[in-house]
Chains A and B, each alone.
Chain A
Amino acid sequence: MQQKVEFEQRVHKALSDSQLRQNFRSTMDGLMAKRSQAFPDKERLEKLRLQGAQIRANALLKLPELLEQLEERCTANGIRVHWAETVEQANQAVLKIMQDHNATNLIKGKSMVSEEMELNHFLEQHGIEVLESDLGEFIVQLAGEPPSHIVAPAIHKSRQDIARLFQEKFPDIPYSEDVETLTRSARDILRRKFYEASIGLSGVNFAVAETGTICLVENEGNGRMCTTIPDVHIAVTGIEKVVEKLSDIPPLMELLPRSATGQHITTYFNMITSPRKEGEKDGPREVHLVLLDNGRSSIYEDPELMESLRCIRCGACMNHCPVYARIGGHAYGTTIPGPIGSVIEPQKLGLDRFGVLPTASTLCGACGEACPVRIPLPKLLNRLRFEQVRDDPPDNTMGKGSQRSIRESLVWNLWSWANTHPALYRLGCLFLTRLRGLVPKQLGVWTRVRKAPAIAPKTLHELAREMGIEDE
């Protein structure tokens, strides 16, 4: 139960921090409102979601073939493809490219896969300086923290937090709490670094198998800088990001920015299909694509859980999650927080380590309703709750069955026994109603903020009989 204790400690810390709660609440409220405004026609939205789900489901259905096709097309276009089964292999692949170029610094665009790889930490251990160029990522890097949201990494920080952080890290820059001034300072610092870095790294939003194209969605232009200014561009992605055709992109792009930030289109949309060609004046001389598995192919083996691989990382599920809005991203303790994180991460890291996450949901359904590719998140959370307590695990992958306790299964067996023996159930209820005065007024955690519910003097079963309502 160590994982539960640790989770509860993180939750407690987050809930006790009123500034943090305010930061998340106001941002999530804003993002939900913007998304809603971005989809004024609900019928159109539902059609689009269906289309988005079909595109992603189709891509997953053909995943092995599409990955081969992607490799073939990329290679033909001059993009070098690296396969990595594990995080270690992916990190080594990036390091090897760096070493091959005697590169000592790396400038990064936003990439959740690089977070999953803990790439910064790994490269720094090998003497390489890594700089995040996305503003939010830059802030959390300065603070030495992981991102707390997949789209807005520094959302847990207030303007004042960031002003103090800048003051501490860049004492030469005059103190300011003005967003424009802070952004300009970061921009000035980063701008110089872009020219110094010999290698740029980015994530991938979609990889198109048909054409061997890497698509990158961003707002700050730092993604374009990372992928065009340095001589070498390394893109890292999970293997599930592939789509079949170029024509799959427009519907997904109609969904992604609207779902994420309520934007109709992001400021930048980059499509990278090759390194600099002969006669071209700019662009990287080398482009590398690192394809990471890290547990995805085992998720892929289960037809139901596979649906979680449809995710396009828009963050709408966390924006709409009432639990996420209160505890924030760090409380989850995983790279990806929120509902989709609670589905994906325990599958990758093990239910024995993160089985608590699928239980940290009321199953209210707000996530599933917002998901642009219709991932049935509540259903998958329920499935993982089953997997972790089942007593007949078909295999021990993912820590199946690891959370089954004798005490809890005994409770459910008793519950089941009472509810399958009607006479016994009625007798039990009779006792409870007649002895209701003996029910304690304090019911543990429930009554910390609530009055205990009052048991009725007579059950509905009794009242129905007294009213002469027929039994069959």
Chain B
Amino acid sequence: MKPDQQYPDKPLSVYFFGTCLIDLIYPQAGLAGMQLIQREGVKVIFPQDQTCCGQPAWNSGYREQARSVALAQLDCFPQDIPIVVPSASCAGMMRYQYPELFKDTPQLSRVKGFSNRVFELTEFLVHVLKVKLKDLGPPTRVALHASCSAQREMAVSEEHSNLLQQLDNVEILEQERKRECCGFGGTFAVKHAEISNAMVEDKAKSIADTGAEKLVSGDCGCLMNISGNLQHTGQGPEGQHIATFLWERTNATES
């Protein structure tokens, strides 16, 4: 967590912002995230009108388009309750970049009110719900990739580890150059494919070299990138969103 971050008491209900990548590619991660919250006795609301946080346009310089999409999201989450996001990248966009995006606009104070309610999933589980996880799975060894947003912008990589460490049968294996970016960077991966490819090859190799059985990450952009390369080379572990991993290991009704 950031030194100045304040967390609310456990609420009765929360909003869930699923992110567009999870919506289309990793919906199970979104579902698991909601189930982890529900299990703590908190009601989850998933507004059906939500789409994307707007980050792709914001990082490409198309601010007007990013603002339209951001405003559409603001309309979906009107109640004064936390908004939980299973991605540090999208959460960072909504918490820290929205106020930049709306700087010098009449919407700024409304945007700030929204941004202050945004929490990344693992920080919410640790600091607000204060979850205690009971590991039901067999012994396993995993590599954790905390995204750049998780490490820096949101400062929640400790919370990722905290949750994994609560699982008695899970060992976290350290990879070389753990803090280095995987090379995704949104449109960067397409605009500068050759550099991105060089970066993901290095990252995937350092993860494969750990001998881990699973790659766990809190961000699906990185997962899609790193797992994509691991599947391409046929080396290394399967990737999983941290929410799916935590849910599968702690849910009594799943095998």
Contacts and interface: CB of A to CB of B under 8 A. Distances in A.
A379 B92 CA distance: 13
A5 interface: no
Nearest to B103: A304
B60 A458 contact: no
A390 B61 contact: yes
A471 B198 contact: no
Contacts of B188: 359-363
Interface string A438-450: 0000001111111
B129 to A, nearest CB: 17
Interface in A425-472: 425-426, 429, 432-433, 444-456, 458-465, 467, 469-472
B194 A364 contact: no
B211 to A, nearest CB: 21
Interface in B147-183: 148-149, 151-153, 177, 179-181, 183
B47 interface: yes
Nearest to B220: A453
Given A416-B69, A460-B23, A446 B61 contact: no
Contacts of A412: 57, 60, 62, 65
B137 interface: no
Contacts of B20: 419
A322 B24 contact: no
Contacts of B87: none
Contact of A413 (B65, B179, B192): B65
Contacts of B128: none
Interface string B194-209: 1111111100000000
Nearest to B26: A456
B184 interface: yes
A416 B25 CA distance: 20
Contacts of A420: 51, 68-69, 71-72
Interface of A is mostly: helix
A471 B46 contact: yes
B46 A322 contact: no
A425 B65 CA distance: 15
A362 B181 contact: yes
Contact of B62 (A323, A360, A409, A426): A409
B61 A455 contact: no
Contact of A429 (B23, B46, B151): B23
B22 interface: yes
Given A385-B59, A419-B68, 8 more contacts: A365-B149, A386-B62, A415-B57, A419-B51, A432-B24, A446-B189, A460-B27, A464-B30
Interface of A: 8, 11-12, 15, 29, 322-323, 326-327, 359-366, 368-369, 379, 382, 385-390, 408-409, 412-413, 415-416, 418-420, 422, 425-426, 429, 432-433, 444-456, 458-465, 467, 469-472
